[in-house]
Structure 1
Amino acid sequence: MRLFRRLLRYTLILGFALFTLGAIGIGVVYWLIVPRLPPVDSLRDVTLQVPLRIYSADGKLMATYGETRRIPVKIEDVPQQVKNAFLAAEDANFYNHPGVDYQGILRAVGLMISKRTLHVPGGSTITQQVARDFFLSSEVSLSRKATEIFLSFKIENTLSKDQILELYLNKIFLGNRAYGVAAAAEFYYGKTLDQLDLAECAMLASLPKFPSTGNPLNNRARALERRRYVLQRMLDNDFIDEAQLKQADAEPERAFAHEPPIDIEAPYIAELVRQEAIQRLGNNALTDAYTIRTTIDSREQTAANDAVRAGLIAYDRRHGWRGPEAHVELASNATAAELERKLDPFRTTFGLVPAIVTQSAEKEAHLRLNDGQTIALGLEDIAWARRYQDETSRGPAPKRVDAALKPGDIVRVAQYTDSKKQGRWQLAQIPSVQGALVALDPEDGAVRAEVGGFSFARSKFNRAVQSQRNPGSSFKPLFYAAAFEHGFTPASVVNDAPVVFPDPSKPNGQWTPKNDDDVFSGPMRLREAMVQSKNLVSVRLLDAIGVRYAREFVTRFGLSLEQVPPNLSMALGTASVSPMNMARAFAVIANGGYLVDPYFVDAIYDRDGKEVYKAQPAQVCAQCPERASDDGRAGTPPPATRTVVDNNGVTTTKDTLSPIASAQATPAAPATTRLAPRALDARTAYLIGSLLRDVVRRGTGSGAMVLKRNDLFGKTGSTNDHRDGWFVGYNADLVAATWMGFDDFSSMGHIEFGAQTALPIWIDFMRVALDGMPEKPFNTPAGISTAQIDPETGLLAAPGSEHTISEVFRTEDLTRIANSPNQPTEAEKKVQQEAYGIF
């Protein structure tokens, strides 16, 4: 008995000593650590990294940018089942403890002693995880752990339990760059939190432990084990019952990578917006939850996407089958898993689905798609696949399926668009030719649609703004405008005949321009020359007005001098321009002579929805009171725009391709309307428009009449060896420029004019863009007169003459001609002689 008392006394003394030492130790730690703890009041207004989101003008999501996927969510918007899953998995006693779980800490200490390592599981509450994630590093040390514990007490004294849980659920990393439960639900399941079932909630709650190596995309088996553990923990804590556990545990795991739910596909323009956002807002643009509203119209953008792809695929099919995309060795008894691995490097591209040929015979081939589906292609389904030989010729039509398709070939297939063949597949291929489209509002330059190529994923080069291509005959309206202001009229006659110029750079020392069709029509009026796109008339006309004058004049359309060659080849469209340049230039004609700056960022908002930027572009605003003194005459032309070469060697026109910089910004209410400068006489714009309307009605652009509208204007363009095909056209509300060509400047083939390549794209786009839009009258400005002329000579018709036609003139030109109808002045004789002569 005495021995027992002695042992008890020693035990009490030892316990007291240990308690005293522990208290002293805790006091010392407290004294050392607490004064150095960071303030936690910032957690009340914590700023989480949230990606940049870009929307169309009508509120459709176009793109998100940022290193992290995160969708902040309020705690009251988190379903109880989601909360319960995370509480069960991470901290079931969360709502009861003061910030730390003493039992968990003791358990962790015991493991550290027994295993002789600091790397032990357990012990951290949700509050401790918040402390670590917001204030501390991931260092494993006793001092860091002590700091974490004291921080947790401080957080618990500052925030409510719900506020702490909200921070945790929004901050926690759940793998695949997903931070927070809402972003993880979207990425893994393509759902919002309220759409998750119990099994999916449990899977998300299982991820914090092993977010990178234990998520269902990287290790499905391990993820399912963790899901079962979470479900069991939910049962143990009475969050679910046995029946719910069994049902959820039996659910198959359906997680796969869901990219953000983009409403409208516009990656080329979205990338331009991203670059401009960084330029204006700095690097935080991608992490500070900014929202950008663009000028893009979702309906028109979708129409542009469809039109460009349809045009490129149509061209590609016209030129034949280039063969399989790849060929792999394939065993006759290849398993489904082996076939899946063979197809794994290939991805579906806009309905062009990769497939591997598994069997092929005379009348039919069997193919396996990347989704596991097996299809059959017959001779009818490959009928178009005549073998490509070169840009102008193809082989014979295939007579056997196995002549075109062999086992191991990896090809593309697409479903028929014909409703009669719905559900059937046909052979396809990804086009090698490229195209671009830009559509903008001529009133203020707002970009309504933009496509920079067939696929942004395959090529990020934006041909709509970064390319420098020859515009061909689509350039003619610009220097025709110079000629009209030089004294020529639509009725002026210029000779369409062979011409020779000395040129030391040519092998024979001579330059002999030609018409596209090698046909010469003799003397003809400029209206007809534009309608028929006569090159030789253009060359003579340019020579008559002077290259220097014309070159400086076309800068009024927003081009730089560096883009325009200082020689007569300019008449054939050898300038270096992008579709954006051409759309902007034609907007001057469409809006009556005003130069507008293309822009595509309308407004920027911060994370609280406050407007921090608002574009205020220069507008035509013809009815504005400030335009009262505008008599339609062009004053001093605006200075030529400046060519800029960026770090990537891309040449751009600064004021065309910097929409945020060029459109003035104001964070407050818009000030007085900024007026676009007049660049072209309104009457000259009218005369050019009257020619371009005839191009569409009865000239090279007549294919556009399929739209059955009378308010369309435009011009085709083709270059030497058919390297480029263009159509630039407009009505009063919309200007659109389309281009097709190869990136390496290869020829598209001798029959591939702009009317065959670019015009069908323009038509398909405008069919949708102008649907429901009423036609607007072709308003005649003051100073325009109409007269009857002789169609052969272009001179005013004598009274009572037969076979006359109506023509439009600037009033002073008509007066001048009327005063000397049959006897041109000496100056006019000189100009006519220069225009008629064969040099």
Structure 2
Amino acid sequence: MLIRRRSFREQAPRPRTLLIVLLSGLLLLGGCGIGVAGGARLAYTAVMRDLPKAADLKSRPMAQVTSLYDRTGAQLLYEFYVERRFWVDLRDVSPVMIRATLAAEDVSFYTHPGYDVRGIIRAVVNDLTRRRSGTQGGSTITQQLVKRLLLSSEQTYIRKMRELVLAVQVEEVYSKDEVLELYLNQVFYGNQSYGIEAAALSYFDKHASDLNLAEATILAGLVQAPSDYDPVINPKAALDRQDDVLSVMVRYQMVTQAEADAARLEAEAFAYKQLRTDIKVPHFAFFAREQLSRRVDPEALRGGLSVITTIDLAQQQMAQDIVTKRVAGLKSQRVNNGALAAINPRTGEILAMVGSVDFNNAEIDGQVNVATSLRQPGSAFKPLAFAALFATRKFLPATTVIDEAITRPDASAPSGIYRPVNYDGKFHGTVTLRSALANSYNIPALLVQETIGTKELVRFARALGIVTPLPEVESLTLGAGTVRLLDMVGAYAAFANDGIRVDPTPFLRISSKSGTVIWDATEVRGERVLPSEAAYMVTSVLSENRARYPMFGTVLDLAGGRIAAVKTGTTNDYKDSLTIGYTPSLVVGVWVGNTDSKPMMQVAGSLGAGGIWKEFMDTWLKGQPQETFPMPATVRTGMVCGVPELLYVGAPPPQCGIAGAGPVRTPRPTPDLPPA
């Protein structure tokens, strides 16, 4: 919004200003028993001390509505505001609304110099007699604007005199039309509506340019006391106030008597629109609002923004439907909620976010966004440890480790000993790291963590975007920490994106109300957080369907033989069931459980969250080209530790076993199972 100003510079008080101060002192202080000369001198000193500059009327952005849209920019998701306001130029306000405003507030606006002597006298008399009467108050439109934007609302004579002086100065800087335009966009009309455009939309569901006489006079009458004249709560008071406004308009020949009578009859039949806050995809909308407050300067946010988000409404609805349907199917296993987050790993764009099966269901705490809440990841955390190991360039998927019973000191355990076991209760002997990760064996994962070091695992997780509490304990790789589903999806996105992490974002573009672009997603650049070789090796393991068949079978295989990397996670007490997986262009994480963390009835990650993940991936990717994960130039296939596997180009010979693996033995072959 651009306001045209007249030239203005610091200068000595003009005779008109001195006259106003003198007049004010006589009227306001003289009546209080102070001498004429003493009153004027005292008034001048008090008024002119630290007086704001009239030219600062627009120094602070006027609070306006921030609007969030879907990725097409066509669908409004949500609006929020400090003050619900939509700026509108004076030329876009109905002429009858302008006339009604002048009749209600300042009929001589276009002829006075910023103050109205008769209005001042009327205000003083009413103040001294404690009366409140008349259609108009003692303040002109210019004075009201000065009070709202440059002064406080304290009720003192000094503040009133400062208001008068500033009103004169404002009209020396701005034209009458500019003052009126500012006023119509500033004043409060009740019903969460600041400014005439918001009021027209709130009460009549139309733009300010389309208001007719009946509507305009109802709205103009509200400004004096929005609560008292609220047409929804006090329709009679609103009609009485409208009658006052129409009477002034007739008296000053702004409308005919017949037009005024017709407007009164029309207003009696009004059915006012109650302001509603309709929010599409509320979990995502509130998340975007929170992120906006962190990313944008508070003053810019107060001034109102137009935000194009990343959400794809069609895919969002598909995700919501799948989560809701699948969770309903798990009700008999004591499951009441689910969440999903989907992002583009190359750009970080959040394409879908399901925070719960039903935002409005209080019984499941539906308003809690589980996609951004703290939960335990279970074995879905293991790929981070294996990636950190591969990043050392000393170990490969062919490296072996013995999966056998181990014990470790644990002061928190009753026996003082930690005895980890596998999910299936068995030990599998010597296995490759590929088999260990694909089948989610716990003992090998613990040995991997010991090899890289717990502190290094925490550091590595931080680099991948995990910012939540991570305890430095033996079982961290098994999911002992707390994470957010969205953060985990962001971490897996680095695997999908060749080791480059792009922060998950709900925004495509953020613009001011004037159209200035504040932030644009096209300017975002990712950061390499792990070597491309390590990312590819993790992806190679997680995308090999047959490698996970011994433990999981074919339940996670996508339709049509489509290649996708995937990992599940289940907490020991079945409080959380997760599945996170990806293609080169899509990463999806799913959580299933109960919002209050009550245990489910043995719902594993592959069977609970896994079903949602597979259906969502199959549906989203249907009809799209098959994608493969490109092998980095620094990785090739060759004989490694006696088996054909991935290896680093130009690196020293890898270690064929890791600490705790014992002598290297030929791993057991993966059994052949038919594809899903």
Work out whether the TM-score is over 0.5: yes
1:442 maps to which residue?
A: 345
Question: Residue deviations 1:175-223, cap 9 Å, x none?
Answer: 2443211222334444432344544333221211221233234434433
CA distance in 1, matches of 2:657, 2:614: 45
Kindly provide the amino acid, as one letter, of the partner of residue 759 in structure 1. G
1:592 corresponds, among 498, 503, 518, to 498
CA distance in 1, matches of 2:157, 2:533: 83
2:537 maps to which residue?
A: 687
Distance apart, 1:509 and its partner CA: 6.0
- For residues 31-46 of structure 1, the aligned pairs below 5 Å read 36=47, 38=51, 41-42=54-55, 45=58
Change (3 A) 1:772 1:107: farther
Kindly provide the amino acid, as one letter, of the partner of residue 182 in structure 1. E
1:423 maps to which residue?
A: none
CA distance in 1, matches of 2:563, 2:665: 36
Is 2:51 aligned against 1:201? no
- For residues 536-547 of structure 1, the aligned pairs below 5 Å read 538-540=442-444, 542-543=446-447, 546-547=450-451
* Partners of 1:292 and 1:601 within 8 A in 2: no
* Partners of 2:126 and 2:132 within 8 A in 1: no
Change (3 A) 1:611 1:162: same
Distance apart, 1:142 and its partner CA: 6.4
* Partners of 1:199 and 1:251 within 8 A in 2: no
Distance apart, 1:581 and its partner CA: 3.3
Change (3 A) 1:516 1:109: closer
Is 2:258 aligned against 1:239? no
Instruction: State the secondary structure of the residue aligned to 1:715.
Output: strand
**Unaligned residue ranges in structure 2 (runs of 5+):** 1-21, 28-35, 669-676
Greater RCO (CA < 8 Å, at least 6 residues apart): 2
1:810 maps to which residue?
A: 647
Distance apart, 1:601 and its partner CA: 6.1
* Partners of 1:479 and 1:550 within 8 A in 2: no
Instruction: State the secondary structure of the residue aligned to 1:755.
Output: coil
Instruction: State the secondary structure of the residue aligned to 2:592.
Output: strand
Distance apart, 1:53 and its partner CA: 2.5
Change (3 A) 1:83 1:211: same
Change (3 A) 1:747 1:111: closer
Is 2:85 aligned against 1:70? yes
Question: Residue deviations 1:295-326, cap 9 Å, x none?
Answer: x41216x7447635752574256436xxxxxx
CA distance in 1, matches of 2:348, 2:444: 33
* Partners of 1:583 and 1:735 within 8 A in 2: yes
Distance apart, 1:89 and its partner CA: 2.6
- For residues 714-793 of structure 1, the aligned pairs below 5 Å read 714-750=566-602, 752-763=603-614, 766=617, 770=621, 774-786=625-637
Question: Residue deviations 1:662-715, cap 9 Å, x none?
Answer: xxxxxxxxxxxxxx23513x3343232122223499754955655657242211
Change (3 A) 1:576 1:31: closer
**Unaligned residue ranges in structure 1 (runs of 5+):** 1-20, 321-390, 393-430, 621-675, 797-806
Distance apart, 1:78 and its partner CA: 0.9
Task: With the length of structure 1 as denominator, give the TM-score of the two structures.
Answer: 0.61
Change (3 A) 1:104 1:263: farther
Question: Residue deviations 1:541-590, cap 9 Å, x none?
Answer: 54378344476257435267995555553453334332233223212321
* Partners of 1:696 and 1:713 within 8 A in 2: no
Instruction: State the secondary structure of the residue aligned to 2:577.
Output: strand
CA distance in 1, matches of 2:555, 2:209: 52
CA distance in 1, matches of 2:427, 2:349: 42
CA distance in 1, matches of 2:529, 2:423: 35
Distance apart, 1:69 and its partner CA: 1.9
Question: Residue deviations 1:307-354, cap 9 Å, x none?
Answer: 35752574256436xxxxxxxxxxxxxxxxxxxxxxxxxxxxxxxxxx
CA distance in 2, matches of 1:63, 1:599: 17
* Partners of 1:696 and 1:715 within 8 A in 2: no
2:8 maps to which residue?
A: none
Is 2:661 aligned against 1:832? no
2:270 corresponds, among 252, 263, 271, to 252
Kindly provide the amino acid, as one letter, of the partner of residue 604 in structure 2. F
1:319 maps to which residue?
A: 331
2:378 corresponds, among 472, 490, 495, to 472
Kindly provide the amino acid, as one letter, of the partner of residue 227 in structure 2. S
1:419 maps to which residue?
A: none
- For residues 271-420 of structure 1, the aligned pairs below 5 Å read 271-277=289-295, 281=297, 283-287=298-302, 289=303, 291=305, 293=307, 296-299=309-312, 303-304=315-316, 307=319, 311=323, 314-315=326-327, 318-319=330-331
Change (3 A) 1:711 1:225: farther
Kindly provide the amino acid, as one letter, of the partner of residue 117 in structure 1. R
* Partners of 1:441 and 1:735 within 8 A in 2: yes
* Partners of 1:118 and 1:140 within 8 A in 2: no
1:192 maps to which residue?
A: 207
Question: Residue deviations 1:480-505, cap 9 Å, x none?
Answer: 34555676654566666666667565
2:193 corresponds, among 178, 190, 196, to 178
Is 2:353 aligned against 1:516? no
* Partners of 1:544 and 1:834 within 8 A in 2: no
Instruction: State the secondary structure of the residue aligned to 2:544.
Output: helix
* Partners of 2:306 and 2:513 within 8 A in 1: no
CA distance in 2, matches of 1:218, 1:157: 41
CA distance in 2, matches of 1:24, 1:482: 78
Which stretch of the first structure deviates more once superposed, 710-719 or 607-616?
Answer: 607-616
* Partners of 2:283 and 2:353 within 8 A in 1: no
Kindly provide the amino acid, as one letter, of the partner of residue 745 in structure 1. S
1:386 maps to which residue?
A: none
Change (3 A) 1:180 1:787: same
CA distance in 2, matches of 1:780, 1:71: 52
Kindly provide the amino acid, as one letter, of the partner of residue 443 in structure 2. V
Which stretch of the first structure deviates more once superposed, 249-258 or 598-607?
Answer: 598-607
CA distance in 1, matches of 2:24, 2:60: 38
* Partners of 1:189 and 1:258 within 8 A in 2: no
Question: Residue deviations 1:620-665, cap 9 Å, x none?
Answer: 5xxxxxxxxxxxxxxxxxxxxxxxxxxxxxxxxxxxxxxxxxxxxx
* Partners of 1:716 and 1:726 within 8 A in 2: yes
Question: Residue deviations 1:485-535, cap 9 Å, x none?
Answer: 67665456666666666756545665544443446666665545544x343
Kindly provide the amino acid, as one letter, of the partner of residue 690 in structure 1. S
Task: With the length of structure 2 as denominator, give the TM-score of the two structures.
Answer: 0.74
Once the two structures are aligned, what percentage of the paired residues are identical? Answer: 29
CA distance in 2, matches of 1:707, 1:695: 12
* Partners of 2:400 and 2:432 within 8 A in 1: yes
RMSD: 4.8
1:644 maps to which residue?
A: none
Is 2:76 aligned against 1:81? no
Change (3 A) 1:768 1:162: farther
Kindly provide the amino acid, as one letter, of the partner of residue 628 in structure 2. P
- For residues 43-58 of structure 1, the aligned pairs below 5 Å read 45=58, 47-51=60-64, 53=66, 55=68, 58=72
Instruction: State the secondary structure of the residue aligned to 2:475.
Output: helix
Instruction: State the secondary structure of the residue aligned to 1:810.
Output: strand
Question: Residue deviations 1:695-740, cap 9 Å, x none?
Answer: 4997549556556572422111111121111111111123233323
CA distance in 2, matches of 1:39, 1:827: 74
* Partners of 1:48 and 1:171 within 8 A in 2: no
Change (3 A) 1:141 1:494: closer
